[in-house]
Structure 1
Amino acid sequence: MFHAPHGYQRAPLPRTRETEPVAMTPQTTMSAPVTADRKAAVPSSDRSTRRDAYFDNAKFLAMVLVAVAHAWEPLMDGSRATRALYMVVYTFHMPAFILISGYMSRSYAGKPHQLKRLLTGIAVPYLVFEVAYSLFDRYGNDDPDQPITLLDPYYLTWFLAALFIWRLTTPLWKLIRWPVPVALALAAFASVTPGVGADLNLQRVLQFLPFFVLGLCLKPEHFQLVRRREVRLLAVPMFAVAVLVAYWAAPRMNVKWFYHTDSVQELGVPWWTGGVMTFALFGCAVVATVGFLAWVPGRRTWFTVLGAGTICGYLLHGFLLRGAEYAGLYAENPWLSTPGGEILVTLVAAVAVTLLCTPPVRKLLKGVTEPEMKWAFKRDASELGPRR
């Protein structure tokens, strides 16, 4: 899972182009309002392919946090500080990613071309990587009994399954009057319902749902407010306090709360904590996400182009992390739990996911992450019309 101008003027609503699971915004940069004269001066083909630098920057930085947090996971038991930082990052990195996805899905109405992109950009990568991760685990972990099932998302693939469901239900959330409160109620109800089950990781789908719905409800002016100087300044002490609170809570709190995969019964706590933690974690995640987004640069940077390849970085970095665990890299090198080792792991994870987001990798995986598959679909009336 954003771009807003540096000033406070109202910016035009960006059009959404669903080209990959975390959708893009092919819009002229929103650092100034686009007037009718400027629109006329820019060819329509250019306007349709331009991207919003702010959202690409946000997606890439969130992707780096995802990879770094995953790399920290095996080191948490040996370091309270690492565990605290892990908790802070896990509070908002996936909520931010999901919120972006929701914001970029606002134009989804179930039209034929949108359904095609839903199938080719989300369903196909899910099927391919669900099988790939299951096979990798079977042979890498020497577990010949590892099943291959398309209904139980394995490791990172849960996000694709969730995004498929969330986007399909977008017209419903745009129809009802109080979408965010309803989504929060569903999340709270799911948290006290152990019978939700593991099919399509529905527990996690429902508990993360409020962030996607919140993204659907946002407008460009909300991001203008987020990027005001006052918000940026307030974000600094906010994160400082968050780190201190996380350091205190690190040995006391179960990190599974941040995964949103279990009901309160499975976590061994009273049923009433489900609703309390749903609203508390949602509030903390929103505040932390605002702080994160406030510091995302709105101009084009060296990593802006990498925002288009975050789906590749997301799906591929798991193989590196799983491979490191299967090879015993963490277990056989206890010095990685020292401050120096943790810094090294952080840098390696950040560099690795950066390389995986580069255009060559995206081009290499385009047949899987962005397949056209024209052979699989009927030609609709809009395509046949000009010939007729």
Structure 2
Amino acid sequence: MTNSLRPHGYQRTPLPQESAPTPPSPRADEPGQQATTPPAASPAGQKPKQRDAFFDNAKYLAIVLVAMAHSWEPLTDSSRTAEALYMVVYTFHMPAFIVISGYFSRSFDLRPDRLKRLITGIAVPYVIFEVAYTLFKRWADDDPTYDFSLLDPWYLTWFLISLFVWRLTTPIWKLVRWPIPLALAIATLSAVSPDIGDDLDMQRLLQFLPFFILGLCMKPEHFQMIRRRSVRIASVPIFACALVFAYWAAPRMSSAWFYHRDSVQELGAPPWTGPVMTLALFGCSVVLVSCFFAWVPRRHMWFTVLGAGTLYGYLLHGFLAKGSRFWGWFDDYEWLHKPLGEIAVTIIAATVVTALCTPPVQRAFRFAMEPKMAWAFRKDPAEQARSRTTTAA
């Protein structure tokens, strides 16, 4: 979901209907943000729309996989099995988040209230955590010269700035005739363009773009198709084949391909591999994302409520994930590289990120993740007029 650690409610409800949809909050799709804003006044006798447990379940399970993959990264040099699991998970965990992001961005436009939520829900947390991660790296890695730059996202913050750009361009993608082929063409050109540079982590922003556009083009019936019993059954041998292939490829292929952060030239590959790998990885990711969605529970589970806090778990667990490397935990404790140690690391990672998604943590860090910032914006004249009308009535 992320920069690698390498050098580098909740009742079962149907999916939103396509006809006359209730515009979702621009923060609904981010890993961890609340899917609903304070509900507006509803017509008498009409209940406010409830969240779909399926998407909260999908976000929670994906963030657990993210934390587990980060815990496996230091183990991949000594364990071929860990490397294979790492490669499989990296094939679909971030694409799954980004597809959901695109799906819930379908109704985004440049309306003032949505732009405000875009700023407070994405841009402001990006700035806050870019500063926090910079200070943390200076202290934990004993690197006081590390420079702060909003143009150079560090570690996990690349996703926030990418989501900001993707969503801001949503009205354009809704206008073009063939958005997915166009996004794939842009991703391919990015993969063979080493001169793009590192500003805004542009390689990753452009190479992951097709997944956002795919979600933007999806409709509720597509998710219904994915969740059919036949797809669930087929996903078992598909995942098994993916694991077998990854086990074979682990010593032969660099996992840096799955980060989408470099051009093929920077990976030491010839330019012709750019289109091939872009299309191949996109196809593999779409298949595994579909298999993942097929097994996500549709009903309310004990962890469904945590789906509203996945952005908290995503950003906060980064301090522990990076700290474990800065402080040499995996070097100091050899038993972590044994099978039982690998299992223990996996359980600890899943437990920690689960705790970081809980409501108490959300309340404690809401000032950074979901600041209201009413002082920073002009009041909407139309909203003021409605308030005066309601008061007079």
TM-score, structure 2 normalization: 0.91
Could you tell which deviates more after superposition, 158-167 or 328-337? 328-337
Tell me the alpha carbon deviations over residues 248-302 of structure 1, each in whole angstroms, 9 at most, x when there is no partner. 0000001110000000110111101000000000000000000000000010000
Counterpart position of 1:241: 241
Counterpart position of 1:133: 133
Matches of 2:214 and 2:16 in 1, distance apart?
20
CA contact (8 A) 1:125 1:369 kept: yes
Superposition deviation, residue 341 in structure 1: 0.6
CA contact (8 A) 1:24 1:104 kept: no
Instruction: Please state whether the residue corresponding to 2:266 is helix, strand or coil.
Output: helix
CA 1:10–1:301 in 2, change beyond 3 Å: closer, same or farther? closer
Matches of 2:118 and 2:357 in 1, distance apart?
21
The alignment status of 1:43 with 2:46, answered yes or no, reads yes
Counterpart position of 1:202: 202
CA 1:41–1:289 in 2, change beyond 3 Å: closer, same or farther? farther
The alignment status of 1:304 with 2:307, answered yes or no, reads no
Counterpart position of 1:349: 349
CA contact (8 A) 1:264 1:271 kept: yes
Instruction: Please state whether the residue corresponding to 2:331 is helix, strand or coil.
Output: coil
Superposition deviation, residue 338 in structure 1: 1.0
Counterpart position of 1:375: 375
Q: Equivalent residues in 2 for 1:29-40 (5 A)?
A: none
Superposition deviation, residue 384 in structure 1: 2.1
Instruction: Please state whether the residue corresponding to 2:174 is helix, strand or coil.
Output: helix
Counterpart position of 1:70: 70
Q: Equivalent residues in 2 for 1:355-366 (5 A)?
A: 355-366=355-366
Counterpart position of 1:82: 82
Counterpart position of 1:115: 115
Matches of 1:111 and 1:262 in 2, distance apart?
35
Matches of 2:338 and 2:211 in 1, distance apart?
35
Instruction: Please state whether the residue corresponding to 1:331 is helix, strand or coil.
Output: helix
CA 1:171–1:328 in 2, change beyond 3 Å: closer, same or farther? same
Letter in 2 for 1:12: Q
**Correspondent of 2:17 among 8, 12, 24:** 12
Counterpart position of 2:267: 267
Q: 5+ unaligned residues in a row in structure 2: which ranges?
A: 2-9
Instruction: Please state whether the residue corresponding to 1:274 is helix, strand or coil.
Output: helix
Letter in 1 for 2:17: P
Matches of 1:131 and 1:26 in 2, distance apart?
27
Letter in 2 for 1:244: V
Superposition deviation, residue 17 in structure 1: 1.6
Matches of 1:113 and 1:340 in 2, distance apart?
51
Matches of 1:142 and 1:294 in 2, distance apart?
45
Superposition deviation, residue 101 in structure 1: 0.4
Matches of 2:287 and 2:36 in 1, distance apart?
27
After superposition, the CA RMSD in angstroms is 2.0
Tell me the alpha carbon deviations over residues 312-371 of structure 1, each in whole angstroms, 9 at most, x when there is no partner. 000000111112222221010121111111100000000000000001101111111111
Letter in 2 for 1:159: F
Matches of 1:19 and 1:151 in 2, distance apart?
22
CA contact (8 A) 2:120 2:370 kept: yes
Letter in 2 for 1:17: S
CA contact (8 A) 1:194 1:266 kept: yes
Tell me the alpha carbon deviations over residues 187-242 of structure 1, each in whole angstroms, 9 at most, x when there is no partner. 00000000111100011000000000000000000000000000000000000000
Matches of 1:188 and 1:25 in 2, distance apart?
33
Matches of 1:128 and 1:144 in 2, distance apart?
19
CA contact (8 A) 1:57 1:297 kept: yes
Matches of 2:220 and 2:366 in 1, distance apart?
30
Q: 5+ unaligned residues in a row in structure 1: which ranges?
A: 28-38
CA 1:194–1:263 in 2, change beyond 3 Å: closer, same or farther? same
Superposition deviation, residue 41 in structure 1: 8.9
Matches of 2:72 and 2:156 in 1, distance apart?
16
CA 1:109–1:11 in 2, change beyond 3 Å: closer, same or farther? closer
CA contact (8 A) 2:34 2:309 kept: no
User: Kindly, what percent of the aligned residue pairs are identical?
Assistant: 59
Tell me the alpha carbon deviations over residues 87-144 of structure 1, each in whole angstroms, 9 at most, x when there is no partner. 0000000000000000011110111001000000000100000010011001100011
TM-score, structure 1 normalization: 0.92
Aligned residues: 370
Tell me the alpha carbon deviations over residues 164-186 of structure 1, each in whole angstroms, 9 at most, x when there is no partner. 00000000111100000000000
Counterpart position of 1:176: 176
Superposition deviation, residue 18 in structure 1: 2.3
